[in-house]
């Protein structure tokens, strides 16, 4: 492997040998590099992609995986794959050697995500992406085994029956936790905006525009390896700006005024998921409303919007759903009787036209 100047173009070229995927020894020349260093780096990366030395770390191998899969998948599919992997998998495994990641490591990672309260279907989606990376390594680069298979799965293909609170049930709940202003403001924000818990815990005063009555959602909070981490939201569409009613803005203003020396870049709700779950269980016990998860408050907001007659597209934009079909599936699951009501209205319109 030797880089040299191309006498015709003045740029750098490099010649090298390698063994292709059929085991044939080949020689090739690559031209057009601006510097000698670029030429040599290209060869190192190329040979790594051919040999896939599994002493390489996960992040390095991921580059090979992305390069191979990008031309084979639709742009949107590849974008969503990279988004999930970069957000939920790479932070945990980035510096670990591919041949050193064990089933025990996978189980620990799964438990970290399960503790974040994600839906069973989303957990399954994340797990499938990690499994796909290791399947690729086994099939094309002779990794001995896929540790995900030994670790077992995570999540479910289909969501369980969805639970949510009606507006009256939420009123009972929120009245029972009014003794703690932080809890009151946090749960009011969740119910009346529909944002995810991670999005709530990442909010800063700078995200709230009291003049235009909006909240900008551009980040999410989570715990990784015992550390506070601010990441991008769940999906690209999750970055959004939502309108906020006056009464909620007033509650948030009162809460912010109660915090000493609050800076624009400080987390507004400096609590943990554990604190929120504890407060939710306290409110449920004191109010007597049915038991639901924190994430189900988001579904409760969705149900309220549909009851108000808000269109599916508007609801999808507000909740940050990647596709409006997701919103419709949630809606149909929450209110299966609405389809019957809709057809009854169509029947009425038709009969009136016959008169």
Q: In terms of domains, do 219 and 316 share one? A: yes
Residue 211's pLDDT is what?
Answer: 95
Q: Which of 207, 238, 191, 198 is nearest to 83 (CA)?
A: 238
pLDDT tens digit string along 274-296?
899 999 999 999 999 999 999 89
pLDDT at 90: 94
pLDDT at 23: 63
**Angle at CA 154, nearest 5°, toward 137 and 191?**
125
Question: Does residue 267 share a domain with residue 190?
Answer: yes
45 & 126 share domain: no
354 lies in some domain: no
Answer whether residue 160 is part of any domain.
no
Q: Quick one: 294 and 181 in the same domain?
A: yes
> Considering 12, 36, 51, which residue would you say is the last residue of a domain?
51
Residues 214 and 112 both lie in one domain: no
Does residue 132 form part of some domain? yes
- The two structure tokens encoding residue 282: 């306290």
In a domain, 157, yes or no: no
| Residue 240 shares a structural domain with residue 334 | yes
Q: What mean pLDDT do residues 147-153 have?
A: 93
Which CATH number goes with the domain that contains 203?
Answer: 1.10.443.10
Decide if pLDDT at 53 tops 60.
no
pLDDT of residue 146: 92
Residues 69 and 45 both lie in one domain = no
Q: Are residues 123 and 76 in the same domain?
A: yes
In a domain, 86, yes or no: yes
The percent of residues above 90 in pLDDT, for the chain, comes to 47
Domain presence at residue 273? yes
Which residues form the domain of 82? 58-151
- Residue 351: band (very low, low, confident or very high) from pLDDT cuts 50, 70, 90: low
Q: Please give the pLDDT value at position 165.
A: 93
What pLDDT band is residue 139 in, cutting at 50, 70 and 90?
confident
What is the predicted pLDDT for the residue at 327? 64
Q: Is the pLDDT of residue 92 over 90?
A: yes
Average pLDDT, the chain: 85
Under the banding of pLDDT at 50, 70 and 90, the label for residue 343 is: low
Instruction: Flag whether 96 is in a domain.
Output: yes
Confidence tier at 91 by pLDDT (50, 70, 90): very high
Do both 252 and 198 map to the same domain? yes
Lowest mean pLDDT among 123-132, 135-144, 301-310, 320-329: 320-329
Name residue, tokens 């499994």: 131
Q: Are residues 181 and 290 in the same domain?
A: yes
Residue 349 within a domain: no
Query: pLDDT, tens digit, for every residue of 240-267?
Result: 999 999 999 999 999 999 999 999 999 9
- Domain edge (last residue) among 103, 118, 151: 151
The domain tally of the chain equals 3
Q: Residue 221 in contact with residue 267, Cβ under 8 Å?
A: yes
Q: Which residue has the higher pLDDT, 350 or 291?
A: 291
Whether 243 and 214 have beta carbons less than 8 Å apart is answered as yes
- CB within 8 A of 264, min separation 6: which ones? 204, 205, 206
Q: Which pLDDT score is estimated for 42? A: 85
> Could you tell me the CATH number of the domain that includes residue 137?
1.10.150.130
CB burial string 296-306: b at 16+ within 10 A, e below:
bbbbbbbbbbb
Residues 96 and 176 both lie in one domain: no
Choosing from 151, 185, 203, the residue where a domain stops is 151
Model pLDDT, residue 228: 82
Q: Is residue 36 located within the same domain as residue 120?
A: no
């Amino acid at each position: 492997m030797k880089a040299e100047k191309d006498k015709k173009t003045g740029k750098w070229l490099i010649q090298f040998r390698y063994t292709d995927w059929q085991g044939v020894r080949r020689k090739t020349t690559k031209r057009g590099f601006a510097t000698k260093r670029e030429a040599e780096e290209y060869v190192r990366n190329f040979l790594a992609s051919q040999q896939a030395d599994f002493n390489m770390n996960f992040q390095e191998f991921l580059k090979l995986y992305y390069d191979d899969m990008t031309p084979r998948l639709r742009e949107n599919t590849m974008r969503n794959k990279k988004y999930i992997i970069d957000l939920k998998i790479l932070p945990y495994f980035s510096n670990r050697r591919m041949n050193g990641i064990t089933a025990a490591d996978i189980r620990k990672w799964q438990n970290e995500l399960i503790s974040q309260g994600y839906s069973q279907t989303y957990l399954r989606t994340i797990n499938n992406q990690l499994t796909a990376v290791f399947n690729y390594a086994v099939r094309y680069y002779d990794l001995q085994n896929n540790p995900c298979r030994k670790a077992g799965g995570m999540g479910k293909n289909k969501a369980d029956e969805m639970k949510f609170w009606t507006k009256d049930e939420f009123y009972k709940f929120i009245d029972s936790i009014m003794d703690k202003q932080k809890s009151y403001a946090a749960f009011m924000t969740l119910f009346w905006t529909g944002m995810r818990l991670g999005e709530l815990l990442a909010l800063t005063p700078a995200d709230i525009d009291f003049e235009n009555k909006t909240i900008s959602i551009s980040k999410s909070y989570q715990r990784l390896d015992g550390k506070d981490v601010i990441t991008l939201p769940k999906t690209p569409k999750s970055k959004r700006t939502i309108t906020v009613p006056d009464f909620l803005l007033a509650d948030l203003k009162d809460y912010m005024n109660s915090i000493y020396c609050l800076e624009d870049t400080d987390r507004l709700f400096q609590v943990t998921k554990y604190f929120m779950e504890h407060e939710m269980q306290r409110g449920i016990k004191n109010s007597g409303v049915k038991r639901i998860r924190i994430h189900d408050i988001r579904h409760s907001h969705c149900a309220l919007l549909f009851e108000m007659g808000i269109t599916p597209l508007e609801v999808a934009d507000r909740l940050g759903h990647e596709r409006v079909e997701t919103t419709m599936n949630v809606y149909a699951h929450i209110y299966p009787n609405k389809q019957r009501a809709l057809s009854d209205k169509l029947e009425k319109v038709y009969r009136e036209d016959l008169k």
